Structure 1
Amino acid sequence: YHSHSMSARSAFDGAVFMASQMKLLEDFKRDAHPDKVNLAGREYVGEHGHTTWLPPVRKIKQQISTDPTLTPEYTHILGIPEFTRRATQLALGKDSPAIVESRVFGIQTVGCTGAVRLGAELLRSCYCSSSSWSGPILLSSPCDDSLAGTFKAAGIEDVQYYRYWDAESNGVCVENMLYDLENAPEQCVVVLFASGHRPTGAELSQEDWKRVAEVMVVRFHNKTRNQD
């Protein structure tokens, strides 16, 4: 008879390091203080600590559950065509020249990380395998912890950053961002965040976007590859 004084451990213990944001969330859940507040959460949380259902989401879920025409079938490999069509129209505008000229193509992915990974795989298959290109990828500083790792997991190791957040003004440091984009390495791929920037929540104004677009157009003519 042999007893173990320690609880059984998994072979995968320590194989994956927890991202700082996830560790913070776990610490928050364990904290018993009644007045705790999580300022880095992704969800709308009510007074009792439960995720709040937004009215449109609740309504759509009810419609789906009672719609007799819906059947549990696999969707197309690229997603639901009507969904991607309307999503691109929402993002760019129904009358966008890019849409009118059929220069836009959208696919449905499993969340943000899934979209980034597919984009990284596309870059790797189109450029890395046929040329000496292997980066760099330019991300905002700061950005979501998972982004750099997602590109590296796809085989793109060269990840660099452009300045985005100004701690003193509590906003986007637009001038520094533009400077970094203007002086970005040749043949770089720039990842821009159209809305909901994580983790800052700070967004560019319409005027700021015009200035960013002007810089990107100039760099495009200099044969720099950019991704929005």
Structure 2
Amino acid sequence: MAKRKLAPDQLLRKHEIALHTYVREQWEEIPRQIEVKLKSLKAWGFDLIFGLRGGEAAVFVSETERGRKVGEVYEEEGETFEIREIVKELPKGARIVVEVGLEDRRGVIHGYYRAPNDQETLLFTLPAAELLLAYFKKRRLHALIEAFHSSGLTTEFIRQRGTTGKPVPFENLPPKMRQALRVGRDVIRQHTHAGRFTLVYFGKNKDGDDRYVVTWLLPTIYLFDVDIAEKVDKSLAALG
């Protein structure tokens, strides 16, 4: 069966929307690993622990909600763990790094503790989307949860309000929409160094509410930096 062609008015509408979809975009190489602060690990729901694993000195993580205490001994997946210290501040020269890759057709995050002597210990491996959504919920980043669409090496957010219609030219955009374009540009330039932000605005509906579609494509690895995630959430929430 032949595919149905778009009617002339539908094609014209697509053309208008394409011409009035405003883009902020930049693509530098996405790093294999980035360093994050200890507070980001906590934001994801993990405590960093120094202790014993199978009787040997080790560094590992435990889910914060489990409420582990110093001196506690427990078993997990057939291994014995003993908590000697719940880390409040990283030792000088130590770092937490994350790496995002594709495995089994989905984004996966690996978290590592890098000791001052550069020895690395794998802390966890999780589906990126699972950890992102869990920590967005924990941090009450509701705009990110609502707009979340998909996650691999990049993560896409789509936020839409109201029905589409005749798009508004750039020179007639309200201040709130212009501000969103500026923030989208600044986040990409200054923080993620790669990404794509688009905005098309259709004016207000009969109740005075804005109608728009915003998309944001960002490197997944940078969203595990809680400071960056909070900037993106605040920007999306400000659109109303």
TM-score by length of 2: 0.25
Q: Which structure has the highest helix share of the two?
A: 1
Q: Larger RCO: Structure 1 or Structure 2 (Cα < 8 Å, ≥ 6 residues apart)? A: 2
TM-score by length of 1: 0.25
